[in-house]
Structure 1
Amino acid sequence: ETHAHYDDEKFDPDRVELLSHLLRENNIGKIVNVGATFKGCKESIALAEKYDDVYAAIGIHPEEIDEINDEVIEWLRQNSSNPKVVAIGEIGLDYYWVKEEEQRAKQRLWFNKQMDLAKELEMPVIIHSRDAAEDTLNTIKLYNNSHVKGIVHCYSYSKEIAMEYVKMGWYIGVGGVVTFKNAKKLVETVEAIPLESIVLETDCPYMAPVPHRGERNSSIFLSHVAEKIAEIKNISVDEVENVTYQNALNIYKKASR
């Protein structure tokens, strides 16, 4: 499970049960809990320190950039050395609600600063990108020579753009959306790119796959994502699970120790 948000209050009733035994009983090996806010980053580290199978990613989401400053960047730098912190993220660009160029420019500024941090620390990144395909790809290309790699999480663009990421050695995060009826573009992307470039994610508690759409999502539903990818690629679910698990360890190197 490469992308979850178990710090979310929707997990308050059963977080302990899920993380202490339920996920393991449902064949979920390792979980990366991803910070999006400053508070979420702190909570992700706390969960990672409490549970053996949980790891943390820390970074500030583009919709939360009003809370970021140089002190927060320094905090990210200090805490990235924690052995359970495996990536910088989720970071990126989200233009969906943001139409003013000034605010978009601010997102780009802090995206670049967090990419610089990942480059300095030699850590992978988790990218959030919505309605910002060109600017995101152009930013990533700037770092291609510096060996910053990562996951484009909850991938929503064309198969052609996905292939650009794959050529640079990046991974495409595929979650519950792939099971939706209107997921034509994502299905085409999964068909087009090699399995060796795909990682599984739920983005829980959001984006529950069919047949649980509209419910609170959890990593237990990751099997529906694996089954759909197996169906699209006409391969076994076992192969999907084994290859994507290895892919996740390849990118989250600290989680493989």
Structure 2
Amino acid sequence: MVFAFLSLCIDPLIRRRKGGDFMMDSHIHLSYAYYDQLFPYIDMENGDFVIREGKRDSLIREMKKRGIECCIEPAIDVASNELLLRLSSQERGFIYPAVGNHPTRCIHSSLRDFKRVREYAKSPEVVAIGETGLDYHYERKKQHRLKQKLWFQWQINLAHEMELPLILHIRLAHEDALRILTKNKGKLHGGVCHCFAGGADVAKVYTEELGLCLGIGGTLLMKQQISESLKQAVASVSMESLLLETDGPYVKPERPDGIVGKRWKKAHNTSLILPAVAKRIAEIKDIPIEDVMKITAENTKRVFHLT
């Protein structure tokens, strides 16, 4: 029923505006090596999620045809910075790089690694510092969390030095993250709490007290309880505080009944699901989907200073 309704509302938009520049993916990973080979990925057809196969080049071509104007790719570890900078130079004006070190990777990183990140940040094409933040889902040891906090502070300082926004990865750690961000409020140059999955109270602190945006993606299309809490958060903040994202190849929507679990598990999430995310936000906000696409694109340009 839900997917049939999406079909009626989304597909005419795709057909009418195919080739247009009306959506931006504020968080996706496209430089991974497995994109060099044929891989399964999630697409949309007649309002339903479907699985197709392709390589990175064909996926990027399809993204452009569907009206994805550009996307932001953040680093996940120190080594990935070089890969995404290389890809962004090949897709200049379409893929914008953010450099940094993910909180789950930084526990094995050194001061020397931070100096490398700092050098990457000097590249003129870099639009943000990230992913950075705190992730307590896996790292429960005290020394690991302390290392995450150290790297978080380093990257906040780096973003301030370079006058760049932050791309935040905060998982099961909002209390500590907000404490650190509030302490450094004077150093912030905007940014986004990506893959946001918190409630309305937390959302308002990020947006109203710290002036940050929330990245909304596949989590909003899930049936879990976390999705209900996220709906309330989306409803509670202004449209000017929301960005569309996918976190591809991760954070997939709820698996449709017509796709076998193993196929869905192997498929990569992509920017091609953005119309479904925009549609769900439009339902929550009770505004046209065109407005969601337009406003979130403008927000992305503003946050990352895109021309």
Bin of the TM-score, shorter chain as denominator length: over 0.9
- Check if 1:176 corresponds to 2:214: no
* Alpha-carbon distance in 1 for matches of 2:63, 2:73: 13
The residue type paired with residue 150 of structure 1 is G
- Check if 1:58 corresponds to 2:89: no
2:46 match: none
* Alpha-carbon distance in 2 for matches of 1:63, 1:147: 22
Contact 1:10 1:205 in 2 (8 A): no
Deviations 1:199-236 (A, max 9, x none): 01000011122466643211111111111101111111
**Given the two structures, how large is their TM-score scaled by the length of structure 2?**
0.79
- Check if 1:216 corresponds to 2:271: no
Q: Helix, strand or coil: the match of 1:18?
A: helix
**Residue number among 284, 287, 293 corresponding to 1:232 in the alignment:** 284
* Alpha-carbon distance in 2 for matches of 1:62, 1:147: 18
Moved more, 208-217 or 238-247: 208-217
The residue type paired with residue 32 of structure 2 is D
* Alpha-carbon distance in 1 for matches of 2:232, 2:156: 29
Q: Helix, strand or coil: the match of 2:195?
A: coil
Q: How does 1:47-126 map to 2 (within 5 A)?
A: 47-52=87-92, 53-126=94-167
Q: How does 1:125-136 map to 2 (within 5 A)?
A: 125-136=166-177
Q: Helix, strand or coil: the match of 2:167?
A: strand
* Alpha-carbon distance in 1 for matches of 2:107, 2:212: 28
- Check if 1:40 corresponds to 2:80: yes
Deviations 1:113-169 (A, max 9, x none): 111111111111100011111001111111212233210000122210110111121
1:247 match: 299
Runs of 5+ consecutive residues of structure 1 not aligned to the other structure: none
Contact 2:214 2:241 in 1 (8 A): yes
Counting matched residue pairs gives: 254
Contact 2:242 2:299 in 1 (8 A): yes
* Alpha-carbon distance in 2 for matches of 1:67, 1:10: 24
**Residue number among 57, 67, 90 corresponding to 1:27 in the alignment:** 67
Over aligned residue pairs, what C-alpha RMSD do you find? 1.5
How far apart are 1:10 and its partner, in Å?
4.2
Contact 1:208 1:221 in 2 (8 A): no
- Check if 1:161 corresponds to 2:202: yes
Contact 2:134 2:170 in 1 (8 A): yes
The residue type paired with residue 24 of structure 1 is K
With a CA cutoff of 8 Å and minimum separation of 6, indicate the structure with the bigger relative contact order: 2
* Alpha-carbon distance in 2 for matches of 1:68, 1:88: 16
The residue type paired with residue 40 of structure 1 is S
* Alpha-carbon distance in 1 for matches of 2:279, 2:255: 12
- Check if 1:202 corresponds to 2:202: no
* Alpha-carbon distance in 1 for matches of 2:59, 2:237: 32
**Given the two structures, how large is their TM-score scaled by the length of structure 1?**
0.94
* Alpha-carbon distance in 2 for matches of 1:15, 1:186: 31
* Alpha-carbon distance in 2 for matches of 1:139, 1:33: 24
